[in-house]
A and B are shown apart, each in its own frame.
Chain A
Amino acid sequence: MHPLSRFRHWLRAKLDPADVASEIDEELRYHLEMRARDYRARGLGDIEAARAAEQRFGNLRAVRHECRRLSSIAPSYQGDNSMHLWLRDFRYALRSLAKSPGLAFVVLATLALGVGANTAIFSVIEGVLLRPLPYHEPDRLVMLWENDRLRGTTQERFSGPDFFDVRERAEVFEEMAHFYTPPATLTSPSGEPMRVNVALVSGNFFGILGNAPSEGRSFYPEEDEPGGNRVAVLSHELWTSRFGGDRGVLGRTIFIDGVSTEVIGVMGREFRFPSNADLWIPSRVTPTSTQRGNHGFAVVARLKPNANLEVTNANLEIIAGALEAEYTDDNQGRGMWAQTLYEASVGSVRTPLLVLLGAVVLVLLIACVNVANLLFARSLSRQQETAIRTAMGAGRAALLRQNLTEGLVLSLAGGALGAFVAYFGLGALLALVPSDLPRVGNVGLNGAVLVFALGISMATGLVFGLLPSLQISSHHLIASLREGVRAGERSGKRRAREILVPVEIALAVVLVIGAGLLMTSFWKILQVDPGFTPTNVVSVDITLPASRYEQDRADWPKWNAVRQFQDVLVETLASSPGVESAALGMNGPLNAGWTSRFTIEGRPPVPPGEQDEVRIRVVSPNYCRTLGIPILRGRPLESRDTRADAPPVILVNEAFARRYFVDEEPLGAHLTQWGMTREIVGIVQDVKFQGLEADVPPAIYPTFSQAPFSGFSLLVRTREEPEAAYARIREVVATLDSELALSSFTTLEAQLAASVAGPRFTMTLFGLFAGIALALAALGIYGVMSYSVSQRRHEIGVRMSLGAGRRSVMRLVLAEGFRLAILGVGLGIVGAALMTRTLESLLFGVERLDPMTFGSVAVLAVTVALAATYVPALRATRVDPIAALRHD
């Protein structure tokens, strides 16, 4: 018989023994009747025939009994007894859980939360950190950077000539590609003009990564040479959003900043490199087409199969040294180094994600301790049953197996529920995730994640399946049987249980201290004055295409078309209803922007290689007024500075004045930058343009009219709702130039919020986990203390009958809870002192051993523990001494 149908038979016998018994009876009755019929055929009368048949059968009852026994025991699987044993244990486990549904519910809910939270976080870790990058042999891909010892920069992009020199000289690379991603305007016969990020890449770019377009083709070598056809490969995202995923787009002409470009391919959905690229176009850079001092190229390279990072960096160091000697002006102090593409892609988010994983694993540990505690308590109340089973010959191994089966049944059911929790939790999680989290599109509940969930479920099952078993060993069988119903806790077991409570409190304290530190950090970040007033300011990015707005490098800074458009735009907007003030900035106030070298007039000359770099923030006259940036000294930029014959002027920030004008007067001094000498006319307050957590570096503010730029942010202080302001801006821009692309509509408040999205995400989740941990710990204390009170009813009864008042009984119980809480908090503080080291890089404005946080968390934990003890303590005072004593 097929094992399954055998199992069905057996199951039927189990489920409906009456039915099976009646079938046996019917079969045996048939036999008797047939026998009687034979006898009648031989001439016996009805009664004699029946009697003879029964006589011949022998002991009918014994046979019937034997048949029933045979059909009720589980099917025997020859040579595989464990299956049978396991089924029996499984059945027993279900039965004993069904006997205490409340316990089963609490255990399952706890596990579902623990496993679900872990699975959700792990799915983020899997998609972002663990999944290999979607390129051919991604381990051999590296990003190359330059640094500058003299200026103390560590991560700069390559210059074009440096790239070609390294490509020629390095022995460790199979191939190198460069790219940079400027914004541009895409126009095509279908649809509005659109701002896109164009990755201008070397022709071998896709080849190095090992990815081919999913539609169409990649670049031909001649397309990366001056004079070749202008061609573009679209990202999957742009292809679907702009062109409706139509294959007919291949061979069609689109316009990038007004230059006609043929679409030749579309990349697959997985391919997002660089992550913000909307389309890829050969940059046609040659060794002589760019300056050695101009560092604009990101470089990706494929290592030869035998090369590693160490060898690569040694090789780069030698080449950088040689270039330093050959090009003293541009390359003095310059080094080069490589990092893996993996590190470059996700290195910045690894710490926060792993910290969150650590936190959620602690939550699961607490959940396990809680469940173990509950099962402990039950196994104590089942101690007599255990003793009986042991006395009946159930070996230690059998009891262990039984406990394990129960643990696994619980944990696997909890794990399955946890998968549901993870599914919904992940939805909430992804809504919280900072939008700049790399590779977030990979995140989902896939096979690997579910295997993880199964794995941790099994592990938790093993943990709390084994914990109660430890007790069997210390179990005095006879004592238990003799003790009878009042199987009280003896000191050994009580100690085991009491260790779990402080452990649980300690784990929760570690988490809550971590959460406290992160919250303090976040609060400190929010307290930072950004240096400008973000309320009611909206921002839009615009790039003027070179095809219609003359911007020849040779003519700079006389870009009349650009300057004129910008002046008219600001004027028209400023006089629109609802607009308080309008201005332009090369970048928004929260964008780090660019750097440039400069010199201060009248100071000893510095060789070009050693000149300092300063942040350049080109702005229009109304910038400071629109953003509410105070002018500390001197005057703001004014409209008179925009006149063609106006003398060049510049503003500097406080950091600049502090650094370069220690004992001198900055106002009226002159500095030279971008080939123009400008007078410092004002000092503005520092703006936190590198983020609220970063120090403000020295920065200078020239005006657009004296340093024109074709790409800029339009900033408008409005009296209207943001949506109305966006509509007004669209309308005004369309009257000036209907083919201009507008992008990144946002408010400065939203930008400010987005700039702290990372810390906010880490803090929120960590705080959530800490809250769950504290609640679970409180539940654990409550459970243990309730059980302890119910076990000590007799003792309490005795005390009360001897005259102890309710207050002293309450004090007795609270004191026990307090003792456990203090022990746990002590352990937790030691643990936190060790563990917060991992948090250090995420903290801002708070020490990792901040006594305020440690102290208040300790008070909080003790308070929560006492609150959780209060209810059982109250219950203890209601013990009726008479009833408690009589109960025995």
Chain B
Amino acid sequence: MGRSKSELLHGTLELLVLRVVESEPMNGYAIGRRIEDLTEDAASPLSIDEGSLYPALYRMERRGWLVSSWGTSENNRRAKFYRITRSGRKRLASERANWTSFAETVAKILESA
């Protein structure tokens, strides 16, 4: 893995997945790419590890945050699409709030030290 990457904090992957499928259903590959693309310009772009992405998707489906169905991708190939559910949205909202407050807390500690 050539580029320098940030390690994902535990549990953050799910938050990111929910965020990118929030607006439209996406297939697994596109989800990974989108997360990477969104952070391309950041100081430390993220790289999504397939070994964690797919198990995460299956786990999230099992928990009822995502549903999947087979459809056609933009290049006319059969692909499995993931769509966010209502409980997925709830989860996203609460995780997002958690994350923000966590980040603020950490930032505060760092500044005060």
Residue positions of A touching B, CB distance < 8 A: 1, 3, 5-6, 9, 23, 26-28, 30-31, 33-35, 37, 56-59, 62-63, 66-67, 70-71, 73, 75-76, 78
Provide the residues of chain A in CB contact with B79, threshold 8 Å: 27, 30
Chain B residue nearest to A59 (CB atoms) is: B51
CA distance A9 to B66 in the complex (A): 13
Q: Which of B28, B62, B64 contacts A31 (CB 8 A)?
A: B28
> How many angstroms from the CA of A799 to the CA of B57 in the assembled complex?
67
**CB distance B62 to A76 under 8 Å?**
yes
B58 at the interface (CB under 8 A from A): yes
Decide if A67 touches B54 in the complex (CB within 8 Å): yes
CA of A28 to CA of B79 in the docked complex: distance in angstroms? 10
- B interface residues with partner A (beta carbon < 8 Å): 1, 27-29, 32, 49-51, 54-55, 58-59, 61-64, 66-67, 70, 73, 75, 77-80, 85
Known contacts A56-B50, A57-B51; is A30 also within 8 Å of B29 by CB?
yes
How near does chain B come to A291, taking the closest CB pair, in angstroms? Answer: 85
Q: Choose from A1, A56, A67, A71 the contact partner of B1 (Cβ within 8 Å).
A: A56
**Chain B residues near A76 (CB, 8 Å)?**
62-63
Residues on the B chain within 8 Å of A67, using CB = 54-55, 58
- Contact present for A30 and B54 (CB under 8 Å): no
Q: How far is the CB of B94 from chain A (nearest CB, A)?
A: 13
A1-B55 in contact (CB<8A): no
Residues from chain B with a CB closer than 8 A to the CB of A73 are 62
Separation in Å of the A172 CB from the closest CB of chain B? 65
Q: Check B63–A78 contact: CB distance below 8 A.
A: yes
Q: Is the CB of A31 within 8 A of B51?
A: no
Q: How far is the CB of A41 from chain B (nearest CB, A)?
A: 12
- Of the candidates A26, A28, A35, the one whose C-beta lies within 8 Å of that of B78 is A26
In the assembled complex, the CB of A40 is this many whole angstroms from the nearest CB of chain B, namely 13
**B28, B55, B61, B62 pick with most chain A CB within 10 angstroms:** B62
Contact among A1, A63, A70 for B64, CB-based, below 8 A: A1
Are B61 and A1 in contact, CB atoms less than 8 angstroms apart?
yes
Cα A66 to Cα B61 in complex, Å, equals 14
Give B58's nearest chain A residue, CB to CB: A70
B49 — which chain A residues lie within 8 A by C-beta?
58
Q: Inside 8 A of A63's CB, which chain B residues have their CB?
A: 50-51, 54-55
Question: Once the chains bind, are B50 and A58 in contact (CB under 8 Å)?
Answer: yes
Across the interface, which residues of B come within 8 angstroms of A6, CB to CB?
62, 64
Known: A30-B27, A63-B50. A71 touches B85 (CB 8 A): no
Tell me whether A70 and B59 are in contact (CB under 8 A).
yes
Contact A35 B29 (CB under 8 A): yes
A63 to B49, CA, bound (A): 11
Chain B residues in 8 Å Cβ range of A9: 61
> A-B pairs with the 4 shortest C-beta distances?
A70-B58, A34-B29, A31-B29, A27-B80
5 A-B residue pairings within 8 Å (CB atoms): A30-B27, A56-B1, A63-B55, A67-B58, A75-B64
Q: Which residue of B lies closest to A64 (CB)?
A: B54
The complex places the Cα of A75 from the Cα of B49 at a distance, in Å, of 25
A594: shortest Cβ distance to chain B, in Å? 81
A63 to B63, CA, bound (A): 19
Chain A residues positioned under 8 Å from B63 (CB to CB): 76, 78
- Shortest distance between the CB of B79 and any CB in chain A (Å): 5
Q: Which A residues lie within 8 Å of B75 (CB)?
A: 37
CA distance A31 to B77 in the complex (A): 11
Write the chain B residue with the least CB distance to A27.
B80
CA–CA, A57 and B28, complex, Å = 13
Task: Chain A residues near B1: list those with CB within 8 A.
Answer: 56
Write the nearest CB–CB distance from A13 to chain B, whole angstroms.
10
Q: Are B51 and A58 in contact (CB under 8 A)?
A: yes
Report the minimal beta-carbon distance from A304 to chain B, rounded to whole angstroms. Answer: 61
Question: In whole angstroms, what is the CA distance A63 to B58 when docked?
Answer: 11
The chain A residue with its CB closest to the CB of B30 is A34
Are A66 and B55 CB-contacts (below 8 A) given A34-B29, A57-B50?
Answer: yes
**Contact partners of B28 in chain A: CB under 8 A:** 27, 30-31
- Interface pair A1/B67, CB less than 8 Å apart: yes
Distance between Cα atoms of A744 and B93 in the complex (Å)? 83
Q: Of B64, B66, B75, which is in contact with the most chain A CB atoms at under 10 Å from its CB?
A: B64
Complex contacts, A59 vs chain B, CB 8 Å: 51
- Extra contacts besides A30-B80, A76-B63 (9): CB < 8 Å: A1-B67, A1-B85, A6-B64, A23-B70, A23-B80, A27-B79, A27-B80, A31-B28, A66-B58
